Amino acid sequence: MSADTITRRVELQPDDANRLQALCGLHNENIKLVERRLGIEIRGRGNRFEVTGTADASDTGAEILNRIYESTESNRDVGPEDIHLVLQEARIDTVFARHDDITDGSVIQTPKMSVRPRGGNQRGYVESIMRHDISFGVGPAGTGKTWLAVACAAEALKQDRVRRILLVRPAVEAGEKLGFLPGDLAQKVDPYLRPLYDALYEMLGFEQVGRLIERQVIEVAPLAFMRGRTLNDAYIILDESQNTTREQMKMFLTRIGFGSKAVITGDPSQIDLPKAQASGLMNALELLEGVEGIGITRFASKDVVRHPLVQRIVEAYDRKDNP
């Protein structure tokens, strides 16, 4: 904790061992969840707790402890969903304590490297990701949409703000008919997910990524595997979302659970769906514009950060498509 932090002391009444156990949860899981969501540190002995963090965060943490403890009078089986609901009912902005405002000098810290947003649009994109539970990054190739999203996810995992990372892509061929692919299911979908693996390797390292995948802390999967799931305390990135159908996009967006953050990236100029099939990304952007809790960042050719020729190529295609 920095020098700007303060400590709030909380004494919960009545002093009831069973209610205190319900408050803390098994292995203090409930307390740890509040700490992660608010970016604070909580220490307790008996019915007395110390909440350390920024002034706003520590005040909020003290209030949340009191609210949860009040609920234990009738509920002795307090779990993660109960904690999330208390946070939600208190209208907590779960981002305010995780990060200071994004500034020109801001850096995303991942285990293997530091990532600095380039230009105003990238900084705005990172700020949108930090401030919203669902964020869209839309624009041409080379603007850093996926790279920055993976960096934010790696940082969140490092700081224990989420329990796992899910990287998702629709398995749509880019205008080519690949035919039968040999191997098991993982080997069949790996080619579609390779760009996400590449970003992870640079952020976390080959060995660490391998270990995290084995432990299912990192999951890389085709979009179809998301159906029927509810994802809590996860950082979910949907890449190449321009190739989702409307039904797939709705299915994905409704998978988001408590304590989760989703980033959806896509390039509307590279839709590989059949001509008659509407893009789920384009439909979602139209429907969700202005919805509270959802951020949308639009990139243009000037935001391309790859080889200078990439920017000129994008601009040439834009002139052809939009004379």
CB atoms under 10 Å from CB of 177, counted, come to 5
Asked whether residue 88 carries a pLDDT value surpassing 80, the answer given is no
Domain with CATH 3.30.1370.10 in the chain: 6-89
Mean pLDDT of 284-310: 84
Mean pLDDT of 163-172: 85
Spatial separation of the C-alpha atoms in residues 40 and 6, rounded to whole Å: 10
What CATH architecture applies to the domain 6-89? 2-Layer Sandwich (3.30)
Domain with CATH 3.40.50.300 in the chain: 108-321
Asked whether residue 181 carries a pLDDT value surpassing 80, the answer given is no
Q: Is the dihedral of CA 21, 23, 24, 27 positive or negative?
A: positive
Half-sphere exposure of 264 (CA within 13 A, CB side): 28
Q: What angle is formed at CA 73 by the lines to CA 71 and CA 75, rounded to 5 degrees?
A: 65
Contact status, residue 22 vs residue 78, Cβ threshold 8 Å: yes
Mean pLDDT of 281-286: 94
pLDDT at 232: 86
pLDDT at 42: 94
Does the predicted TM-score (pTM) go above 0.85? no
Mean pLDDT of 255-275: 88
Q: DSSP alpha helices (H): ranges in the chain?
A: 17-24, 29-38, 55-71, 80-89, 119-131, 145-158, 185-204, 206-214, 246-253, 280-288, 308-321
pLDDT at 187: 62
Single-letter code of the amino acid located at 83: I
Mean pLDDT of 188-202: 78
CATH 3.40.50.300 fits 108-321, yes or no: yes
Of the candidate ranges 160-164, 253-257, 286-290, 319-323, the one whose mean pLDDT is the lowest: 319-323
